[in-house]
Amino acid sequence: MSANLLIKDGRVLDPGAGVDQVEDVLITDGRIARLGKNLRAPAGTAAVDASGKVVCPGFIDVHTHLREPGFEYKETIASGTRAAAAGGFTAVCCMANTVPVNDNRAVTDYILAKARVEGVVRVYPIGAVTKNLAGAQLAEMAEQAEAGCVAFSDDGLCVMNAELYRRAMEYALPFGTPIISHAEDCNLAHGASMHEGFVSTELGLTGQPAAAEDAMVARDIVLAELTGAHVHIAHISTAGAVRMVRDARARGVRVTAEATPHHLLLTDEAVRSWDPNTKMAPPLRGKRDVEALREALADGTVDCIATDHAPHALSDKEDEYAAAANGVVGLETAVAVLLDRLVRPGLLDLPTLVTRLSTGPARLLSLPGGSLAPGAVADVTILDLERPWTVDPSSFRSRSRNTPFSGWTGAGGPWMTIVGGVAVTP
Amino acid sequence: MAWKQKDLLSTQDLDANEITEVLDTAESMKEIASREIKKVPALRGKTVVNLFYEASTRTRTSFEIAGKWLSADVINVSSSGSSTEKGESLLDTAKNIEAMSPDVVVVRHKASGAPALLARHLRCAVVNAGDGAHEHPTQALLDLLTIREKKGHLEGLNVTIVGDVAHSRVARSNIHAMRRMGITVTVAGPPTLIPTACQELGVKVSHRLEEAIAHADVIMMLRLQQERMRSGLIPTLREYSRVWGLTLARLAQCRPDVLIMHPGPVNRGVEISPEVADGPYSVILDQVSNGVAVRMAVLFLLAGAKAERGSGGEG
């Protein structure tokens, strides 16, 4: 396979560069060479007819659990990156909560080596903030940054010790890597399996109040202000947290945020099904929270969409609700459900969605990509806005099937994923 | 009226007609308890499995007697000494039991939603005998039967439920069922024991006991679990009992025909004083007797409905 490719007659949409027109994209040696109408490619260059399709900068998921090493029965780097490619993602950032934890250079090296050999999209590891995610001692962040970690996070757990978290933020300053917060006060969230509200009252499930997230987002903003660090709020889910992030940014605090498709499309009402695939942390929130998230996605308070792809085997999930594992897969459904449920009804415009999936995450973590400008790496996601779909978990490339969107139907989704000029799907 | 429901998981699934049918059926079952030979052949050849993952004397015994008086074969499986100790999942245990072709599985579990999980996977009827803080529908039905017996009707009554509503499956099942029958429900307790957005259940919420019970036709006291102190919801049992305990002095301020109920087991001297629990207004033991009748009715209706569905070829 050559890394030369001519993408013909697609609607080229690169919102960051103000490009939105039907033209060709010429890729040579794995990089964008030129945009323009009726481009001539060097002899022997493969061509793709993208007429009627939308050609976008490659989508990047800044929040993926690839589960390897340690939980290969849930997902592997091979299966997870194939799921990413199928879902239109050209790069994923994988979280540190593997076994062993990615809290040292050896694990980072292992992930990157595996990804080079077995992965089909780019893989950027995220290192742990604290050793073994224990929240007690800093991980060796300098070496990890050197090895290629693009951010640091104890995702899945909240670093409750504010003093330690402050030091982590300070220590990471020279690396230019953000600290990603799983903002959830573990005392306020103790024992909870869903959002606290009327639905939790009816179901008799322990709920965690929105305040569990709000309190920690408030703390993390204050610490970002104190240290000058860049703090990124993972899977923001409450109206209160959105409001605080918006206010802090207006003050010039370096705080960013991501939102997941499930928090943008579902509320705690979904838990009434008792389907454990509606269980995740943070939990599905109320209607007003969803409205606030959508608003924040449109106005840029939410910088990017992230899937929080969290594969679990049936045996981890198909249990009493309170005992079921937290998390849902998302790589293979994110783009399709957002196109159909937000863009198609006019709740979000397509350029904004594309920005939040490409340029937004690339800028957030200073990653290559997120652009179709000449010279940029040729990571491209091509969308077909008309293709009808039904979410069928049995057809997932992921090793896991735990989606809350099973059986959903709609139209529009990824059509081709190109990494470094090479088509990795279909 | 032919019974339509496959399972009994929540009183929310029952409309007023269905509740009335259970109560009427239960009333006719009560006669059996007074017979010399307490046995009718209604469920002969049927198998009822009591699957209890949580300690229970009253409810398990009640279901067992109900099944036996109807001539069903009743098997008790409790979590101690069974496969759950070997780490088998709830679903695996249930599927194994189903492979032995029971007609009804009665399940009690500490996790809210566990009976719903079973119902989704099992072909036989599933009866919720209490799941976490979610529901305990047969308790609500036996409470309604007791109230109807004593008051002659349900519509228009005022019922006050006092105590740990947040963790009470009895409260939830009663609230839904009572509202459906036209009863006005008030819940009362310290704010830490009243769940979020409780008013949206269609009840009045009070944080003063005297005010909440003054006009009640029925007062239902809930059991207070010791662990509520450890989790910081109340300071001490002593204070709880002083502020929220139903005493003779407080009872004196209530309606002269008030009924005192308690789902049991009673913490004497905590939520209710012994004189009140054993006093003339108390119908606590009537509740227990009616429990058997209501469970007979539920087993009878569900097993009967299953037979009808079966003959319709739906399995």
CA A345 to CA A343: how far, in whole Å? 6
Instruction: List, in sequence order, the alpha helices (H) in chain B.
Output: 16-33, 58-69, 90-98, 114-121, 137-151, 169-180, 209-213, 227-230, 237-244, 248-251, 274-277, 284-311
CB A205 to CB B133 under 8 A?
A: yes
Disruptive mutation site among A193, A267, A274, A320 for chain B (greatest number of B CBs within 10 Å): A320
What pLDDT, on the 0 to 100 scale, is given for residue A426?
74
> Which tens digits make up the pLDDT trace of B185-244?
999 999 999 999 999 999 999 999 999 999 999 999 999 987 777 788 999 999 999 999
- B72 interfacial to chain A (CB closer than 8 Å): no
Q: By CA distance, what is B9's nearest residue in A?
A: A203
Task: For chain A, say whether B205 makes contact (Cβ under 8 Å).
Answer: no
- Among the partner-chain residues B113, B195, B198, the one whose CB lies closest to the CB of A321 is B113
The predicted structure's pLDDT at residue B315: 33
Q: CB-hemisphere CA count at 13 Å for A149? A: 31
8 Å CB contact between A82 and A113: no
Q: How far is A208 from chain B (nearest CA, A)?
A: 11
Q: Which of A53, A37, A98, A64 is nearest to A365 (CA)?
A: A64
| Nearest CA among B89, B242, B51, B176 for reference residue A313 | B89
Of A304, A310, A227, which Cα lies nearest the Cα of A276?
A310
> Mean of the pLDDT values across residues B158-179?
97
Question: Residue A274 and residue B172: Cβ atoms within 8 Å?
Answer: no
pLDDT(B313) > 50: no
Predicted local confidence at residue B304, as pLDDT: 79
Cβ B132–A319 below 8 Å, yes or no?
Answer: no
Q: How far is A362 from chain B (nearest CA, A)?
A: 41
DSSP state string for B37-49? S----TTTT-EEE
C-alpha closest to that of A332 among A86, A91, A122: A86
B237, B291, B234: which is closest to B261 by C-alpha?
Answer: B291
> Which residue of A196, A198, A205 is in closest CB contact with B112?
A205
Determine the Cα–Cα distance for residues B244 and B233; give it in Å rounded to an integer: 14
Q: Are A408 and A393 in contact (CB under 8 A)?
A: no
Question: Closest residue of A to B91, CA-based?
Answer: A319
Q: Which of A201, A275, A318 to mutate to test the interface with B (most CBs of B within 10 A)?
A: A201
Nearest residue to A48 via CA among A412, A420, A426, A357: A426
d(CA B231, CA A296): 36
Confidence label for B101 from pLDDT (cuts 50, 70 and 90): very high
Copy the structure tokens of residue B112. Answer: 């809210």
Q: Please judge whether B111 and A320 are an interchain contact, meaning their C-beta atoms are less than 8 angstroms apart.
A: yes
What pLDDT, on the 0 to 100 scale, is given for residue B228? 79
Contact state of B112 with A198 under an 8 Å Cβ cutoff: no
Q: In chain A, which residues have pLDDT < 70?
A: 1-2
Please name the residue of chain B whose CA is at the shortest distance from the CA of residue A194.
B112
Is there a contact between B195 and A201 if contact means CB atoms under 8 Å apart? yes
Asked if A202's CB is within 8 angstroms of B201's CB, the reply is: yes
Residues in chain A within 8 Å Cβ distance of B201: 198, 201-202
As for the ipTM of the complex, it is 0.90
Round to whole Å and give the CA distance between B12 and B7: 12
Half-sphere exposure of A195 (CA within 13 A, CB side): 27
Q: How far apart, in whole angstroms, are the C-alpha atoms of residue B296 and residue A414?
A: 57
Is 60 exceeded by the pLDDT of residue B299?
Answer: yes
Does this model's pTM top 0.90? My answer is: yes
Compare all CA atoms of chain A with the CA of B196 and give the residue at the minimum distance: A197
Please tell me which residue of chain A has the smallest CA distance to B201.
A202
Q: Could you tell me which chain A residue has the CA closest to the CA of B136? A: A204
Under 8 Å CB pairs connecting chains A and B tally to 66
Question: What are B46-87's pLDDT values in tens digits?
Answer: 999 999 998 888 999 999 999 999 999 999 988 754 555 557
H or E stretch at A379: none
Cα A187 to chain centroid, rounded: 27
Strand partners, B259: B218
Counting beta carbons within 10 angstroms of the beta carbon of residue A228, is it exposed (0 to 12), middle (13 to 18) or buried (19 or more)? exposed
Mutate to test the interface with A, among B174, B196, B198, B228 (most CBs of A within 10 A): B196
The three-class DSSP label of residue B67 is helix
Cross-chain CB nearest to B113 (options A196, A198, A320): A320
Mean pLDDT, residues B274-296 taken together: 96
Whole-number Å distance between alpha carbons of A334 and A59: 11
Tokens for B275, please give them.
């004189």
B170 close to A (CB below 8 A) = no
Closest CB to B134: pick one of A204, A207, A315: A204
Q: Which residues of B touch A321 (CB under 8 A)?
A: 111-113, 117
Q: How far is B24 from chain A (nearest CA, A)?
A: 27
Residue B91 pLDDT? 83
> Alpha-carbon distance A33 to B104, whole Å?
70
Contact B25, B297 (CB under 8 A): yes
Residue A308 annotated among the catalytic residues of the structure: yes
- What pLDDT is attached to residue B307? 57
Name every chain B residue with its beta carbon within 8 A of the beta carbon of A187.
none
Q: Dihedral sign, CA of A200, A204, A205, A206?
A: positive
Report pLDDT for B84. Answer: 55
Per-residue model confidence (pLDDT) at position A62: 98
**B195 touches A at CB < 8 Å:** yes
Which residues on chain A are in Cβ contact (under 8 Å) with B195? 200-201
- Per 3-state DSSP, chain A is made up of helix, strand and coil in percentages (nearest 5) of 35, 25, 40
Distances (CA, A) of B152 to B47, B105, B148, B285, B292: 35, 33, 5, 18, 20
pLDDT at position B78, please? 83
Report which of A164, A160, A259 is spatially closest to residue A216, judged by C-alpha positions. A160
- Across the interface, of B90, B91, B196, the residue whose CB is closest to A201 is B196
Taking only the tens place, the pLDDT of each residue in A198-230 is 999 999 999 999 999 999 999 999 999 999 999
Task: Calculate mean pLDDT across residues B94-104.
Answer: 90
Burial, A211: exposed, middle or buried (Cβ in 10 Å; 0-12, 13-18, 19+)? middle
Residue B276 confidence (pLDDT): 96
Greatest pairwise CA separation for chain B in angstroms: 61
Residue numbers in B near A278 (CB within 8 A): none
Closest partner residue to B198 (CB to CB) among A201, A205, A319 is A201
Percent of chain B topping pLDDT 70? 94
B229 touches chain A (CB under 8 A): no
B225–A contact, CB cutoff 8 A: no
Q: What is the pLDDT of residue B314?
A: 36
Interface of B with A in 102-141 (CB under 8 A): 109, 111-114, 116-117, 120, 131-135
Question: Which residue of the set A103, A185, A303, A308 is catalytic?
Answer: A308
Instruction: Tell which wins on pLDDT, B309 or A66.
Output: A66
pLDDT digits (tens, 9 = 90+) for B112-136: 999 999 999 899 999 999 999 999 9
